Chain A
């Protein structure tokens, strides 16, 4: 029973981490056209190394993507320089979409494991009935 409870906690930590990742993907996409915006990255770490739950996963400190921001040509833009360019964001929408799909799939896998552990402990409790 304790193993199944542990399993539930681990799956929940996985879902939480994937949800955090999805939240930052949403933030990146929302700011895709914000001048000077840097894409945010969420690293995943094993939580056990930090004295938290055994086997759980957690998200670390958010980092900024260091790739060069795109230069957009638009002389009418208020932030345009002498050549008519201004600095956009370094968000690549295709990359973000792919990332969100991956997060969704991983979330579903975690949810499936959560459901299975729940069913297993339910059938274990069924033994007590009667």
Chain B
């Protein structure tokens, strides 16, 4: 039973991660013509999870983090260094790269919701309310 609950945690952490990433992509695209703006991105979701271990647990990287909530761990959005070539006005946003990232984010979000819904169905079946 508890394995299933950690499945929910992971799924919602992935959904939160992709929502945060989507917000950053929107910010990058909105500022695609702002002089001197540096593109931002989050670290991969994979890197917010421990490499090995039996139970899946979220990593806490700062003292303020609550255990089991991965979304908080990735709040620090790093500015991208190699994101497309810098334009003469110092802007580093590449709209094409952002588009690719946004479709990636959409897939991740759908995956997270599908896993969540699958888990819910499983629990409902176990409760006999199918």
Which residues of A are interface residues toward B (Cβ below 8 A)?
Answer: 1, 3-4, 6-8, 10-11, 13-14, 17-18, 21, 43-46, 55-57, 102, 105-106, 109-110, 112-114, 116-117, 119-120, 123-124, 126-127
Q: A109-B95, A120-B109, A123-B109 are in contact. Are A6 and B23 (CB under 8 A)?
A: yes
Main secondary structure of the interface of A (DSSP, over half): helix
Q: A106-B32, A116-B106 are in contact. Are A4 and B27 (CB under 8 A)?
A: no
Interchain CA distance A43-B91 in the complex, whole Å = 13
Pairs across A and B, CB under 8 Å, 21 listed: A3-B16, A3-B19, A4-B22, A6-B23, A7-B23, A7-B26, A11-B29, A14-B26, A21-B33, A44-B33, A56-B27, A56-B30, A106-B29, A109-B98, A113-B25, A113-B26, A113-B102, A116-B102, A123-B110, A124-B15, A127-B117
Which residues of B are interface residues toward A (Cβ below 8 A)?
Answer: 15-16, 18-20, 22-27, 29-35, 37, 95, 98-99, 102, 105-106, 109-110, 113, 116-117, 120
Q: How many A-B residue pairs have CB under 8 A?
A: 99
A120 CB contacts on chain B under 8 angstroms: 18-19, 22, 106, 109
CB-based contact B19/A46 at 8 Å? no
Q: A3-B22, A55-B23, A120-B22 are in contact. Are A127 and B113 (CB under 8 A)?
A: yes
